[in-house]
A and B are shown apart, each in its own frame.
Chain A
Amino acid sequence: MRRFGLISVPYLWLLALFLVPFLIVLKISLSDIELAIPPYTPTLDLSRGWEGFTDWASQLDLENFWFLAEDSLYWKAYLSSLKIAIVSTIMTLIVGYPIAYGMTRAPDEWRPTLMMLVILPFWTSFLIRVYAWKAILSQEGLLNQLLMGIGVIGEPLTILNTNTAVYIGIVYTYLPFMVLPIYAALERLDESLLEAAEDLGCSRFTAFWLVTFPMSKQGIIAGSFLVFIPAMGEFVIPALLGGSKTLMIGKVLWEEFFSNRDWPVASAVAVILLLLLIIPIVLFQRNEEKQREAER
């Protein structure tokens, strides 16, 4: 009984904070827009009893989903988000792996400091940090001033309000999510494994490819999902750093919700996004389980 009680805690938690809101969103996505408060119809009127319920249920339909399927804007936005998420995940990996590797190779007494530096940005508001990038990347920004100052370029580069700025923003924001799991995987790697590889005829470089890299695979997978999943639905970064051409589903969702006040369509966009993300989330869970198994 006590065991059951303990296990039920996380499930109750999930039920309250995930499943119930999801069901509400799902319900709204099946509703129609209405100039009212709340801005959709039907609403459930339980005072009319069973009849009220059937009445309510009969008015729900998949209209909004058909609408999304027919308008190319939406699936283009999904595809574009997918592309941006994949590309920035790869870029984060390319930047993050050497950082994590360097951290594990650093002398022991340095590691807490390096770890601190990776986590440090979390101490400032995410919004402020993204705004700071505006100041760095704009035409008159620090980056252009620096590059022109040392004479690398004559004309200021247009970075802000392009996809490049979005990539920079995502890589910057999610870097710790990539570095930390890879670091955790690399840190467990016993130095004697590399020695054994060398002893058996590997150069340092092949020892890295045959031992270090495969052994950090689990960390790479975990880090990639931790970057990919939130990047897919990212809204703030494309809104602040991206331009009018930057198409991301998070931004579309925001506009449907706040500019068009079309809650049902916005909800349908959210439901599809979630369904799309369930695949990588399940894969991520699998990876975590496999890792735990290997450690046993």
Chain B
Amino acid sequence: MADAAAQQVFAPWNAPEAKPIIQFRNVTKRFGDFTAIDDLTLDIHEKEFFSLLGPSGCGKTTMMRMLAGFETPTEGTILLDGQDIAPVPPNKRAVNMMFQSYALFPHLSVWDNIAFGLRREGLDKDRIGNRVEEMLRLVQLGKFAQRKPHQISGGQRQRVALARSLAKAPKLLLLDEPLGALDKKLRQETQFELMDIQETTGTTFVIVTHDQEEAMTVSSRVAVMDHGKIVQVDTPDRIYEEPNSVYVADFLGDVNIIRGKASRKDMGADTDHVHIHFAEGQSPLWAATKRDLAEGTEVALAIRPEKVTITRDRPTDRNNAIRGKVHDIAYLGNISTYHVELPGGQIIKAQTANTRRVARRSFTWEDEVWLSFTDTAGAVLVD
């Protein structure tokens, strides 16, 4: 039998006795009469890798700045380890932040930038030296230690900023779009590096990102924000599979939104499913949902392209099948996305893995095809 502890999933947010490291309690932040954060309540637990996702201007940086101590909430309180942090100045918080603008000191070398925080702690020279070297190795900047920030590239600067914020090994690390300027390969490496650091040091990470793949890869939980509010907080898989709104579904990855009216007239005793009438002359879609929906409610079925199967003949094993015509094909190497036009003009995307060579694919432009999916493939959403 496997070790029970290792089997246990890391999910302190489900444990009622767990004490969160950060608690936002009805926090509102206004700039003049503009509300940047709107009555936000949120718990973040120790050792979490918590991602904030949302469009530009939705208040992600403002949340970070309140945690770091550069802004104070207009209303509400923020607790760190159960203590109200409002009276604690930034330099007294066990929190380090990586700034979106990097904020590297231009008059100091890369080495001195990284050593800056360590020196303030009054550590002895050897320990500072060792720690800086360790950080330089981590971000692969050993060769550039003596350069000034203006003598290195944007991606390298970003890594210096990351190293500088990591150097003090804080209890809570705030990363504001930390990897945006890195190329894909280095970004993935650094992501795994961050997860590694997190595992070895037990640091709690709050990270802002606009890269949903990144959020999916690294996070224990993801919060999707809109206009100063949190729309959904959940694990990456649940955010992806069970979004609670069209906004969230749309924000993460590619999605088909099929709008229609809900009906349970012909369902009999089955309360786990609903019919969605989405177009004249088409048979209704059959979707699983436990929601209590009044007859005729406007709903949206959000379904990911990879969950839509494309075939030449009508499949017999699925309840939902729609006929359409291939409008466009996007070839992405490992996968292809077929844009299929329904008789009503709506475009539905279906994705298939390219297990055969592209020359031998089954469908081409203007082909008549069938799209099909199971009852549990999509999420039924109400706006």
Contacts and interface: CB of A to CB of B under 8 A. Distances in A.
A201 B107 contact: no
Given A193-B105, A196-B99, A201 B70 contact: no
A195 B105 CA distance: 11
B106 A195 contact: no
Interface string A15-36: 0000000000000000000000
A144 B296 CA distance: 92
Max chain B Cβ within 10 angstroms of own Cβ: one of A198, A199, A202, A210 = A199
B85 to A, nearest CB: 14
A21 B148 CA distance: 44
A283 B121 CA distance: 37
B238 interface: no
Max chain B Cβ within 10 angstroms of own Cβ: one of A192, A196, A198 = A196
B150 A199 contact: no
A203 interface: yes
Contacts of A217: 107
Contacts of B144: none
A215 B89 CA distance: 24
Given A294-B150, A296-B150, A200 B107 contact: no
A115 interface: no
A15 B121 CA distance: 57
B97 interface: yes
A190 interface: yes
B20 to A, nearest CB: 22
Interface string A267-290: 000000000000000000000000
Contacts of A202: 91, 120
A contact face: mostly helix, strand, loop, or mixed: helix
Contacts of B99: 192, 195-196
Contact of A211 (B96, B105, B120, B165): B105
Contacts of B101: 190, 192
Contacts of B164: 200
B35 to A, nearest CB: 23
Given A190-B101, A192-B99, A199 B106 contact: no
Interface residues of A, number: 20
Contacts of A200: 91, 96, 116-117, 120, 164, 168
A197 interface: yes
Max chain A Cβ within 10 angstroms of own Cβ: one of B69, B70, B91 = B91
A195 B121 CA distance: 17
B106 A215 contact: yes
A192 B69 CA distance: 13
Interface of B: 68-70, 89-91, 95-97, 99, 101, 103-107, 116-117, 120-121, 148, 150, 164-165, 168
29 contacts: A193-B103, A193-B105, A193-B106, A195-B68, A195-B70, A196-B99, A197-B105, A197-B116, A198-B69, A199-B90, A199-B95, A200-B91, A200-B96, A200-B116, A200-B117, A200-B164, A201-B91, A201-B121, A201-B168, A202-B120, A210-B116, A211-B107, A214-B107, A215-B105, A215-B106, A217-B107, A294-B148, A294-B150, A296-B150
Given A197-B105, A199-B165, A294-B106, 18 more contacts: A190-B101, A192-B101, A193-B105, A195-B70, A196-B103, A196-B104, A198-B69, A198-B90, A198-B91, A199-B90, A200-B91, A200-B96, A200-B117, A200-B164, A201-B121, A202-B120, A203-B91, A217-B107
Interface of A: 190, 192-193, 195-203, 206, 210-211, 214-215, 217, 294, 296
